[in-house]
Amino acid sequence: MVLNATTAAGAGLVVVTGADGFAGRAVCAHFRAAGVPFRGLVRALSGETAARPDMLPVGDLATGSEEALANALRGAGTVVHLAGRAHVMHETATEPRAAFRAANVAATERVARAAAEAGAAHFVFASSVKVNGEATPPERPFRENDPPDPRDEYAASKWEAECVLADVARETGLAVTVLRLPLMYGPGVKGNFAQLTEAIARGLPLPLGSIDNRRSLLGVGNFVAALDAVLGHPTPAPGTAVTYLLADASPVATKELVQAIAAALGVAPRLLSVPPSLLRLASACVGKAAAFERLAGSLVVDTTAFRTRFGWQPPRSLAEELADMARARRVPVAAPL
């Protein structure tokens, strides 16, 4: 389903938090192109967002004024909550747990309660597959009914936010849809994926040729399409909170991902075959054991529940999304908001 002003009628005005983030930019660009009425919320206006009448600065969602938040959510039928503190590669906060809880728990609860007060019917929350855990056997993917097993402060804050949203739903009648997302990639991606892409582009040798794993990923275009499917369907029953896992059509091995990125960039991948045991030992010696496991381990999710509920299939392939990412990298301009 492709969302447009007609199919989105049941969603009403869609308010998107984190509208200037990686996923938020793609969502808002799609809504704008499709003629979907929306309002994007950002912490502060930038040179890119200041000229956009559909962008509204709201300050810190956890601590900003009640009046500003109420005004931002005025008329909302659906809130898509993408804002939050993501997994941090190089932590600088003196109290990381408090920083994650403020951005991912307190702010989420505050926005949800304000949305219910404003009369919104539906709250869509971007959570993380890390709520389920860090790794799976390749033959046993994560499912929605698996016991949560968050292993770091980021994942714990996302799980706590999910629990808080279930409470808000029961207390206010707001319907909540939680989407647990794996690593997302596409034009404008940052973090580990951007670093891997840069290393491949520079022709650096990568000792990943012997790693045999499977990992679920999510192209930002497929995320936007999945959001279309959610908003294009009838709003869930009032007071309910439902969780879905979401991913591309097929998981991919790390060495296959390197080859696919290289193909999109038009370069030859430099994959070295080094025994994983040696890589694991070397990573532990330099304090990068967790980073190695994220790269070399398997993490696969079962998206049957989402695909069945919404009659949805990921419309974009890995190659298509990587090609868009490569084009955006070659043309250093900001992604449209």
- Domains, the chain, with CATH or none: 9-189+218-250+300-317 (3.40.50.720)
* Predicted TM-score of the model (pTM): 0.92
The rounded distance, in Å, linking the Cα atoms of 171 and 115 is: 13
* CA distances to 60, 68, 304 from 63, in Å: 5, 11, 38
Distances (CA, A) of 260 to 73, 219, 320: 41, 13, 10
Place of tokens 């996923």: 23
Query: Any idea what DSSP says for residue 287?
Result: T
Residue 78 has, within 13 A of its CA and on its CB side, a CA count of 25
The continuous run of DSSP H or E covering 181 comes out as: strand 175-181
pLDDT of residue 333: 41
Which pLDDT belongs to residue 252?
96
Q: What is the mean pLDDT of each run of 10 residues along the chain (337 residues)?
A: 57 93 96 96 85 90 94 97 82 82 97 97 98 89 96 96 98 98 96 93 93 95 98 96 98 96 96 88 80 83 98 97 92 44
Q: Which pLDDT does position 206 carry in this prediction?
A: 93
